[in-house]
Amino acid sequence: MKYLALLLLSAAAPVFAGSSGIYLNDDYQHVFATPSGNILCGGNSHKHAKADKRYTNDLYCFIGLNKAMPKRCEKQGEGLDFTLNAKGKAAMSCAGFEFVPYNEGYEKTRVLKYGETVSGNGWSCRSETSGLSCKNNDGHGFSINRQEYRLF
């Protein structure tokens, strides 16, 4: 695995509170964050998915500790993880560490401005002032912000 240091962001990009280096083995084609810096996502990890079935989620998003934390997650980690494939339902889990994806070929994390949409292999996400909403080809997905989350 590669050791990934803290992402260096431009002055225009938000600083991700508490971000620290972690070990990951993912190369994402799409890495983006909300303007607030509260949500960080990586999508299209197909390069590793073919070699290792553990990396089959097409989209992975992380949000730090927030008011929407389920009680079962409060002592387990840093925040919440949300995953979504091109087909099927979205999932939420407790995050044991902060997600800092390797941004394939880019030095800076893209900030998905409010009102903008990014699309990947079978999924799309839209950034709004109310948070981030992502859905797949089946219409399943999630909406997340610091106050609440919803799987649909």
Q: Which residues of the chain have pLDDT under 70?
A: 1-28, 45-57, 76-77, 97-108
Q: Spell out the domain ranges in the chain.
A: 23-151
Q: What predicted TM-score, i.e. pTM, was given to this entire model? A: 0.72
> What is the predicted pLDDT for the residue at 120?
86
- In the block, tokens 């610091």 appear at 146
CB distance 86 to 25 below 8 Å: no
Kindly report the number of other CB atoms within 10 A of residue 122's CB atom.
17
Predicted pLDDT at 101: 57
Q: SS3 for 72?
A: helix
Q: Tell me what pLDDT residue 97 has.
A: 66
What is the per-residue pLDDT for 96? 72
pLDDT at 112: 94
Give the pLDDT of residue 51: 52
Alpha helices in the chain (DSSP H): 46-49
- What stretch of H or E contains 46? helix 46-49
